[in-house]
Structure 1
């Protein structure tokens, strides 16, 4: 015979089971319920409404990766990007219609395995600017910086990750990027280790990223968090990267530009693969 407690637990279990079956959204992860104080308060604007691309446009001018890629919104209100048409090797960037100089950006992402993507800061009409890696593939990286323009590009990537088993999303392993062999101290003001990143990253689920971009000159300070792990602090005016020429960089970047989401060109992007985005908010600091 069931006692009163048993009846309660049984009913509670059935309620949880039904609720789980009816929930169309994947398991949530990323930003905590109580984010750091620096990220609280007023001033954040929602730049993706979960319905359409009202605040966005494909890059107005052809760029390195194509003319824009294919972008849409799922029935669940999630933004996605893919090559246009899928598997064609043709990509590009989706840009905010507004431009930003100093700001804080919150965004959640769920990339398929295989895409080479990124978030661009202060991008021009061709989709060129400072890139935050979202390279979710073999020899990939998420959460570090690259300068990407047709005229001048420099990677600032300290490590790369790989699948242990190519058929399974987890676990991942990391190894140093061979290009770091000649790095002196000071390429980054701060950077996490590859092992710390793997402990924070959800390879088959939603991940939250926060970006702070400051500095009124052409050479910004960029700070990045992935699921509350600070992956790096990069100061373009101070970095000691041996392949970075500040004066050359000033010729190709601007102090104000668009926020961009990238679909990389080339056959390395798997046919049918997508990168998914949601919960995109921005707060101006200037």
Structure 2
């Protein structure tokens, strides 16, 4: 439930107050190697000239829609607020396709990729409502990971909990242990509305913020970013890098060498509406 202290971030007709930026990688962590260097060490190839291929953001029937541009090109991007914010509560409705690896960033730098990401990984091994550190040692704090159920014709028909319990990277138990609160996976499946609009609420409070997420009123996850235990994560370096204020950003992911088309389908889109914010 929101009240009249919230103000809209999206007017329903245009992207006024936002700007389009490409998905350009930076360093793994403050003062660390670049993502491109890590990719090369692992025998992978970073995207070529991603700055020339931002995602496409349109307004369709009052809905903000993000797609790769052109569809299936493999390049991602962001829509980022022109204003920076400190302590906030953000509420929005989202309807991503499957597979579509999207998310909401808070405290994001305006012209580099560092910031805290609230995950909306609507894809295999995806974490929805958890957190990821873009340029912040790539920490991953999620209560569970999801996959998809298929109908008799082989079409995606609903979410299920990832049977493997492990996504690409670190075991789910360690990722869940980062959280100070986390919902039960079955509670989440009951709350999530497949193929319909879902409300995401994000609260971000503090210099090294405490981040909390709710989906359709269910508290999904809470993270104290001052207490993260993750290789290479330095809370003081993070505080210096981000400062007490940052931008809000919506994501269209690229297709990387790890997940390929499971990351973002060729014709996939993410959709957003009723985006509003309250400064605390």
TM interval, shorter chain, is 0.7 to 0.9
Report runs of 4+ in structure 1 exceeding 6 Å deviation. Answer: none
**What per-residue deviation string (whole Å, max 9, x for no partner) do you get for residues 22-66 of structure 1?**
xxxxxxxxxxxxx2xxx43x321111011010111013x762284
Q: Structure 1 stretches of 5 or more lacking a match? A: 1-34
**What per-residue deviation string (whole Å, max 9, x for no partner) do you get for residues 221-242 of structure 1?**
1110000000011111123456
Q: How many residues align?
A: 242
The residue aligned with 1:107 is 92
Could you say what the CA RMSD is over the residues aligned between the two structures, in angstroms? 2.3
**C-alpha contact (below 8 Å) 1:69/1:84 kept by paired residues:** yes
The residue aligned with 2:44 is none
- In 1, Cα distance between equivalents of 2:245 and 2:114: 12
Mapped pair 1:43 → 2:2: no
The residue aligned with 1:284 is 279
Note closer, same or farther for the CA distance 1:62–1:192 as it changes in structure 2 (3 Å cut): closer
- In 2, Cα distance between equivalents of 1:86 and 1:128: 26
- In 2, Cα distance between equivalents of 1:265 and 1:62: 8
Mapped pair 1:93 → 2:88: no
**C-alpha contact (below 8 Å) 1:183/1:241 kept by paired residues:** no
Among 70, 73, 79, the residue aligned to 2:59? 73
**C-alpha contact (below 8 Å) 2:92/2:200 kept by paired residues:** yes
Alignment of 1:6-25 (within 5 A): none
Alignment of 1:121-140 (within 5 A): 121-125=106-110, 126-140=112-126
Q: Structure 2 stretches of 5 or more lacking a match? A: 26-46
Note closer, same or farther for the CA distance 1:168–1:190 as it changes in structure 2 (3 Å cut): same
Mapped pair 1:273 → 2:268: yes
Q: Secondary structure at the match of 2:186?
A: helix
Whose Rg is larger? 1
**C-alpha contact (below 8 Å) 2:204/2:212 kept by paired residues:** yes
- In 1, Cα distance between equivalents of 2:227 and 2:161: 30
TM superposition score normalised by structure 1: 0.78
- In 2, Cα distance between equivalents of 1:162 and 1:171: 6
**What per-residue deviation string (whole Å, max 9, x for no partner) do you get for residues 205-252 of structure 1?**
10001111100x2x2111100000000111111234566432443354
Shift of 1:152: 3.2
- In 2, Cα distance between equivalents of 1:141 and 1:203: 15
- In 2, Cα distance between equivalents of 1:214 and 1:114: 31
